[in-house]
Amino acid sequence: MVKIGLIGNGGMCKAAHAPAYRDDPRVEVTAVCDIIEERAVYLRENYFPNAKVYTDYRELLRDPEVNAVDICTPNDLHSEIAVAALNAGMDVFCEKPDAVDVEKAMEMRQAAEKSGKLLMVMRNNRFTSASRYLKSFIEDGRAGEIYCGRCGWLRRRGIPGKGGWFTTKARSGGGPLIDLGVHMIDLAIWLMGNPKPFAVSANTYRKFSDSNVSDSVNSDFGDKNAEGTFDVEDLAMGMIRFENGAVLQIEFSWASNIKKERRFVELRGTKAGINWQDKGAEIYTEENGRLLDTEILPAREDNGHLNNIRNFIDVLTNGAEPCYRPEQGVDMIKILCAIYESAQTGREVLL
């Protein structure tokens, strides 16, 4: 039995993490923790009636009835709490992004290596049925050499928690690049076979900080503050180069004058191209001298968050192979931080 404590009991915890643990017989949630006590109490009363309530994660880490933690706090606390939990001998599952800078991501990896405990960070898009199919398709060599691609997550108007920690760089690490980009960049690089990033170049823009118009439920996410800070980008565009010669174009926005929200990963190979989308995927190839398109439909129950958390529990209880490795998290934060540096300096940044 994995006895887990949930740290950070806001929207993401309630929407994705708590239901996954509640419905898994291998897990007992023995503690919940949030600096806003009402959130922790809500989680106990509606999900885990036997859980202890804490408002300080340090007290939770001293609870002998907790042997693993799940972290859903603002981004700047991910590494601090993860390192403390690993040093306390606990296994850790954490929401993305891994950290807000490279040094903190490396501290997480080092703490996992030193403690010998499991560290996993949410990579839910790897766990959809279309993603798993495409991964097998590419690993079987059916796409040939993946030499270029592009990925993005674009919203027309969907700025989360405006004025709160989401739009405060010191707390979030950045805007849509670190919020949305971590998802699609990770999926693209994972499908490409995890090539080593070599260099990045990028631009970022902040053009909609004065707009309160919304067409997305994501605008309701997070805690708003009308008098708060908005010092992050609302659009990031750029390119990642890899040591094997491949390139990946990127584009992420919370607010842009486009038709509608969409997210995608498009990869081009010498034998086939793939296009991962919200509702499945497509494969473009040729067969017997004719061009051929194949549609990959999602499974009826296609919950990437649930499946990712199940992988974490599978590793702890059955010795399964973890889909995520901490060094992948370090590489991701190196990419994101280099993109911000490139946008600031106007130059390509070598990793």
Question: Which region holds residue 334: left if phi is over 0, alpha if psi is between -120 and 50, else beta?
Answer: alpha
Task: Tell whether the model's pLDDT for residue 192 goes beyond 90.
Answer: yes
d(CA 295, CA 285): 12
- The β-bridge relationship of strands 91-94 and 68-71 is parallel
Contacts of 134 (CB under 8 A, 6+ apart): 191, 274, 276, 281, 283, 296
User: 217 pLDDT band (50/70/90 cuts)?
Assistant: confident
**How many CB atoms are located within 10 Å of the residue 161 CB?**
23
Retrieve residue 258's tokens.
């486009």
Identify the H or E element spanning 292. strand 290-296
Query: Which residue spans within 155-289 are E strands per DSSP?
Result: 197-205, 235-242, 247-253, 262-269, 272-277, 280-287
pLDDT confidence tier of residue 340, bands split at 50, 70 and 90:
very high
Coil, helix or strand for 29?
strand
CA atoms within a 13 Å half-sphere pointing along the CA-CB vector of 216: 20
**pLDDT band at residue 279 using 50, 70 and 90 as cut-offs:** confident
For CATH 3.40.50.720, the residue range(s) in the chain are: 2-121
Cα 43 to Cα 60: distance, rounded to the nearest angstrom: 15
- Is 328 in contact with 192 (CB distance < 8 Å)? no
Q: Could you read off the pLDDT of 234-254 as tens digits, one per residue?
A: 999 999 999 999 999 999 999
Question: For the residues 217-221, what does the mean pLDDT come to?
Answer: 84
Residue 236 C-beta-side C-alpha neighbours within 13 Å: 32
Residue 177 predicted with pLDDT over 90: yes
Instruction: State mean pLDDT over 312-328.
Output: 96
Q: What is the pTM assigned to this prediction?
A: 0.95
Q: What is residue 300's predicted lDDT score, i.e. its pLDDT? A: 67
Three-class SS state of 184: helix
Lowest mean pLDDT among 50-54, 119-123, 226-230: 226-230
Mean pLDDT of 292-302: 83
Q: Enumerate the β-bridge partners of residue 153.
A: 252, 263
pLDDT band at 162 (very low <50, low <70, confident <90, very high): very high
Q: What CA–CA distances, in Å, run from 237 to 233, 343, 345?
A: 11, 9, 15
Q: What is the CATH number of domain 125-302?
A: 3.30.360.10
Quick check: helix, strand or coil at residue 30?
strand
Return residue ranges of the chain for CATH 3.30.360.10: 125-302
* pLDDT mean over 86-97: 98
Residue where the block lists tokens 């992988």? 311
Cα distance between residue 19 and residue 268, in whole Å? 37
Q: Fold for domain 2-121?
A: Rossmann fold (3.40.50)
